[in-house]
Amino acid sequence: MDLEQPVIRISVRNLVEFILRAGDIDNRIASTDKDTMQLGSRIHRKIQKQMGPDYHAEISLKYEIPCKDFTLKLEGRADGIIELPEGIVIDEIKGVLRELNQIKEPVPVHLAQAMCYAYIYAASHNLPEIGVQMTYCNMETEEIKRFQSGYIFEDLERWFYELIGKYEKWARYQIQWKKKRDKSIKDVEFPFAYREGQKNLVTSVYRTILRKKKLFIQAPTGVGKTIATLFPAVKAVGEGLGDKIFYLTAKTITRTVAWQAFETLREQALRMKVIVLTAKDKICFCEETNCNPDYCPYAKGHFDRVNDAVYELLTSSDELNREILEEQARKWKVCPYEMSLDVAVWVDAIICDYNYVFDPQAHLRRFFGEGNKGDYLFLIDEAHNLVERGRQMYSASICKEDFLGIKKKVRYEDEKLTERLEDCNRGLLAMKRECEEYKVLNSVSHIYLKLLNLVTELERFLEECEKEDIREEVLEFYFHIRSFMDIHERLDENYVIYSELDGEGKFRVHLFCVNPAGNLGEFLQKGNSTIFFSATLLPITYYKKLLSTGKEDYAIYAESPFDVEHRLLMVGGDVSTKYTRRNEEMYQRYARYLWKLANGKKGNYLVFFPSYRFLEDVYEAFEKIQEKEELEAFPALGHRITCVTQSQSMSENDREEFLNTFEEERKESLLGFCVMGGIFSEGIDLTEDKLIGAVIVGTGLPQVCREREILKDYFNQHGQRGFDYAYLYPGMNKVLQAAGRVIRTDEDRGVILLLDDRFFDRRYQETFPREWENQRSCSLENMAEQIKEFWKKEKEEAQTVRTKE
C-alpha cells in the first residue's frame, strides 16, 4: 500500500447494506436486526462452540483494494471458517425471532456479506473455489436452518469487483471533498474580537480534543459558548483530530444558534457540509406518518432511488438546509427523513437532538450501531438537560393492563399469540398480588423470558395480520415490549427495579436508570472527544458523576463578561414556598413584591413560579391588589399593570403570542407569569429593554414523588447527599436558567429577585455562580428603595456615557 495515498475504510456489512439495499420502506415488517437484541451474540457463541475442532470462530478479515489516488480498505469479521476435507466454507450466523419455516432463502444482504468474506479469504489463500453457509437460528427455540452454496473464484471475483465499483465513486467523493474542506479550514479565523475569558475557552476546547478527553464547561450567558466550542472543533477537523462534529441540543432554538454559527464561519469561505436533522413527523410530506408503500408514495421504491438522490445532492451543493433537502426528496420521490439520515453519513457536521446519538431505540445506527465508531467530536449544548433526558432514554416500564388490552384485540384472531399474552399477564398478576403500593425488586428475569416468547409470536402476527387497525395497535405494543427488553439487557448497579400500583390502579414494572453516565458513555466512546457545556452546570461534580464515567475529565469555569454592576441581584427572605407556609397571607406577600417591582420602573418582567397552582394563587392575589390600590398608591403612574400568563396547554401560536407581548411598546409595566423549568425559562432571548427583570419564586425543587425518593435513597446509599442529587441540584438549575433570562448582552440592565428564605441556606448558596457574590438581601419593606437606587444609578451612568459621546 502506498503510504502517501489516503485510505478509505469501510466494514463489509456497511458496504453491502449501503450498495445493495433496494425496495420499499415498510414499517409493517418488524425488524429482526441482531443489533436490537444482544441475545443474538450469545446465540452466535453457542452455535460456534457446538461446531467442533474444524470450526474457527470470529475470524478477522481485511482486504485492500488499490484505486486511483486512494486505497479502499475493507474490514470485517467472519462468524466462522470451516476447514473441511473438500474445502473451506465461510459461515455467517444470523439470529432471528421469526419462525424458520418463513425463511425460504437467505436474505440477499446477508448472503452478500458472507460472499465478501468468502472472496477476501479465497483471494488471500489462493483458493480456486470456496463455500458459503448461511446459518439462521431462532433465538427462542434455538432451532437452526442452513443454506449452502459454492462459488468458483473467478465468478466470485467478478461479482466482488462489480460491488466495489459501485462504491468507488462514493469513496472518491470522500477524498476529494475532504481536501477542499481541510484547505478552506486553514484560512478560517475566530470571527469576533475575543471577549474576556473567551480565548481561554477556545484553547481549552482545542486542547481537550487534541488529548481525546472530555471537558465540562460552566459558562454564563454572554460568553459566546456556541462559537467558542464550534470554532476550535472546526479547526481540529481541519488538522485531522476529528472527522465529524455532532452538535447536540435539547431544544430547537439552540439548533438554530448552532446553524447560524456555521453560517458566520462560512463568511470566511469555510467549506463544510452541515445538516440539521428534523424529526420524522415534522418533515414528513404526508398528513399522517405511516411509513409503508401502500400509504406513502415516497416509501414505495425509496431504496431503489435514494443513493442517486444523495449523491446528486452532495456533488451539486454545499447548502443542505431543510428547504433544499425537501426539494431533493420530492424530485427523486424518496422519504425526506430517511434521505436526510443518509446525507448525514457524508457531511462534516450534524446538528441534532440528543436522542440521535444516545437513545437506544432511536440513535443513528449508521454511526452508533454495534461495531460502528468514528473520529467524532461531540459538542453537547445545554448539557444540564442531558441528565434527565438520559434517565428517560435508558428507563422503561410495562403495564399489566396493556397486555390485557392487546389480548382482547387478538383473542379471536390468533390463538397462539393470545396464549403468550395470557402467560405474561399471569406473571404480572402474581407480582401485583405481592405489591401493596410500591416494591423494589431484585430481578424481573422471569418476566423477561416470558416477553421473549411473546415477541416471537408478535413478530409472526405482524407479518401475517391484514387488519390494519389491529395491526397498528399490536405494532405499537410490540415496540414498547422490545424497548423494555433492550433496557433489561442494560441492567446493572445504576438501575433500580420496582413495581407499583399507580393512581389509576394500573400495575406497572419499572426499570429506572438512576445514573445514566455508563449508558451515555457507551455511545460517547465511539468518538474521539466530548465537550459538555451550559450556562448552568453547577455543581460541576454532580454533572461529572451523572454524565461521565471518566476519572480524568477536565472542567473549567468561564467568567461572565458582563459588568455585575449592571444587574441588581436581591434575595428576599421574608417569604417562603414551603408547603407548610402556603396560605393566603403568603400569596399576598408575593403579590406585593411583584406590585412594588413593576412600579419601581416601567418595563417588562418575567415571574417564575414552582407550579401552576402557585402561579394561579399569586396571580389572583395580585389582581386584588391592582383593583384596590393601583391609582391610590401610585397616582403618578396611573396605569394598570398588564399581565400575561403561561398555561399548561399552550400551542406554538400561543407561545409566540406570549413572547410577542414583550416586543410591544406600552405605557405601563408588563408582568409575565411563568412556570420554572417551562418553555419560557430556557432558550429565549429578550434583550435590552424587552426584559428588565426576573422574579424567581421558590427554589425550583421537584415535587416529592416516588422516583425522586428512589433517587434520594439510591445516592444516600452510595455515599452522596441524596436530597441534593434528587431535589436541590435539579431545582437550583431551574433557578439559574430562569435568572439567566435577564442579562443577555452588554447593553442589558436588570433586576433579579430571588424570593424564598431557603436561598439563604448554605447548601443553596453553594450552587450560586461566582458572579452572584454581590447579592443583596431585601425585604418587602426595603426592596422598593433598593430598586429605586439601582435604576437611578443606571440612569446617571447612561447620561454620563451620552455626554462623553
Q: What is the DSSP string of 443-498?
A: --HHHHHHHHHHHHHHHHHHHH---HHHHHHHHHHHHHHHHHHHHHTT-STTEEEE
β-strands 244-249, 214-218 pairing: unpaired
Q: What is the residue-averaged pLDDT of the chain?
A: 90
For residue 626 the three cell numbers come to 391592582
- Rounded to the nearest 10°, the torsion over CA 250, 381, 232, 267 is 50
Tell me how far apart the alpha carbons of residues 332 and 300 are, in angstroms, rounded to a whole number. 12
Co-location of 800 and 686 in the same domain: yes
In sequence order, the β-bridge partners of residue 271 are none
Q: Is residue 313 part of a domain?
A: no
Q: Compute the half-sphere exposure of residue 34: CA atoms within 13 Å on the CB side of its CA.
A: 19
Beta carbons of 81 and 88 less than 8 angstroms apart: yes
Angle between helix 153-186 and 12-19 (nearest 10): 90
Helical (H) or strand (E) element with 696 = strand 693-697
User: CB neighbours (10 Å) of residue 480?
Assistant: 16
Q: Which of 356, 358, 351 is nearest to 386 (CA)?
A: 358
Query: Cβ(45)–Cβ(55) under 8 Å?
Result: no
In CATH, what number is assigned to the domain containing residue 262? 3.40.50.300
* Residue showing cell 401493596: 436
H helical segments located in 187-224: 198-210
The amino acid that residue 440 corresponds to is V
Domain that holds residue 265: 200-272+349-394+516-561
Are both 406 and 390 inside the same structural domain? no
Instruction: Say whether both 440 and 505 belong to one domain.
Output: yes
Taking the C-alpha atoms of residue 629 and residue 621, their distance in angstroms, rounded to an integer, is 12
Predicted local confidence at residue 3, as pLDDT: 54
Same domain membership, residue 162 and residue 49 = yes
Q: What is the mean pLDDT of residues 156-179?
A: 94
**Nearest-angstrom CA–CA distance, 271 and 428:** 57
Strands 244-249 and 376-380 come out as parallel
Give the model's confidence band at 629: pLDDT under 50 very low, under 70 low, under 90 confident, else very high. Answer: low
637 has pLDDT over 50 = no
Q: Is 580 helix (H, G, I), strand (E, B) or coil?
A: helix
**Which residues does 490 contact at the CB level (< 8 Å), separation at least 6?**
360, 394, 513, 519
Closest CA to 731 of 699, 703, 707: 699
**pLDDT for 636:** 47
pLDDT at 141 over 50: yes
Assigned domain for 190 exists: no
What does the alpha-carbon distance between residue 12 and residue 116 come to, in Å, rounded to a whole number?
A: 7
Q: What residues contact 521, with CB distance under 8 A and at least 6 apart?
A: 548, 549, 550
Q: Which three cell numbers stand for residue 315?
A: 456533488
Question: For position 28, what pLDDT does the model report?
Answer: 67
> For residues 790 and 692, what is the distance between their CA atoms, to the nearest angstrom?
12
Question: Counting runs of H as helices and runs of E as strands, what totals does the chain give?
Answer: 28, 24
**Rounded Cα–Cα distance for residues 690 and 643 (Å):** 15
Q: How far apart are the C-alpha atoms of 387 and 237, rounded to whole Å?
A: 28
Q: What is the CATH number of the domain that holds 473?
A: 1.10.275
Contacts of 395 (CB under 8 A, 6+ apart): 487, 510, 511, 512, 513
Are 236 and 354 contained in the same domain? Answer: yes
21 domain residue, yes or no: yes
Residue 193 counted as domain residue: no
241 and 152 within one domain: no
Cell 463455500 found at: 131
Question: ω into residue 610 within 30 of 0, thus cis?
Answer: no
Residue 672 in domain:
yes
> Taking Cα atoms as reference points, which of 442, 439, 458, 462 lies closest to residue 450?
458
Q: How far is CA 545 from CA 515, 520, 714, in A?
A: 8, 12, 14
For residues 646 and 725, membership in a common domain is answered with: yes
pLDDT band of 798, cuts 50, 70, 90: low
Asked whether residue 306 is domain-assigned, the answer is no
DSSP state of 3: T
Q: What is the 3-state secondary structure (H, E, C) of 30-89?
A: CCCCHHHCCHHHHHHHHHHHCCCCCEEEEEEEEEEEEECCEEEEEEEEEEEEEEECCEEE
Q: What is the DSSP letter of 370?
A: T
Reading phi first (left if > 0) and then psi (alpha if -120 to 50, else beta), residue 387 is in alpha
| Position 640 pLDDT exceeds 90 | no
Q: Name the region of 335 (left: φ>0; alpha: ψ -120 to 50; beta: rest).
A: beta
Mean pLDDT (whole number) for 386-414? 95
Q: What is the pLDDT of residue 37?
A: 41
> Domain total for the chain?
4
Residue 481 located in a structural domain: yes
Amino acid symbol at 273: K
User: Which of 14-28, 51-65, 486-500 has the largest mean confidence?
Assistant: 486-500
CATH number at residue 89: 3.90.320.10
Among 21-30, 39-48, 148-157, 713-722, the range scoring the smallest mean pLDDT is 39-48
Distance CA 431, CA 699 (A): 38
Question: What average pLDDT does this structure show over 21-36?
Answer: 65
Q: Residue 287 burial (CB < 10 Å; 0-12/13-18/19+)? A: exposed
Cell triple for residue 97? 425471532
Task: For residues 777 and 779, give the distance between their C-alpha atoms in angstroms, rounded to a whole number.
Answer: 7
Instruction: Judge if 369 and 450 occupy the same domain.
Output: no
pLDDT level of residue 673 (50, 70, 90 thresholds) = very high
Task: Decide if 316 is inside a domain.
Answer: no
Q: If 0-12 CB within 10 Å is exposed, 13-18 middle and 19+ buried, where does residue 665 land?
A: exposed
Interatomic CA distance for residues 616 and 646, integer angstroms: 10
Mean pLDDT across the stretch 476-494?
94
Task: Based on the fold, state whether residues 492 and 541 are members of the same structural domain.
Answer: no
Give the pLDDT band of residue 43 (cuts 50, 70, 90).
Answer: low
**Same domain flag for 467 and 526:** no
Cα dihedral 384→390→393→397 (10° resolution):
-110
Report which of 733, 769, 773, 776 is spatially closest to residue 751, judged by C-alpha positions. Answer: 776
Do residue 777 and residue 652 come from a single domain?
yes
Contact 777, 571 (CB under 8 A): yes
| C-beta of residue 605 within 8 angstroms of C-beta of residue 597 | yes
Q: Percentage of the chain with pLDDT > 70?
A: 94
Which one has a higher pLDDT value, 97 or 677?
A: 677
Same domain, 35 and 118: yes
Please give the sequence-ordered ranges of beta strands (E in DSSP) within 514-589, or none if there are none. Answer: 529-534, 554-557, 567-572
Pairwise CA distance, residues 542 & 544, whole Å: 6
Q: Tell me the pLDDT band of 45, cut-offs 50, 70 and 90.
A: low
CA torsion sign for 507, 511, 513, 519 is negative
Q: What is the pTM of this model?
A: 0.90
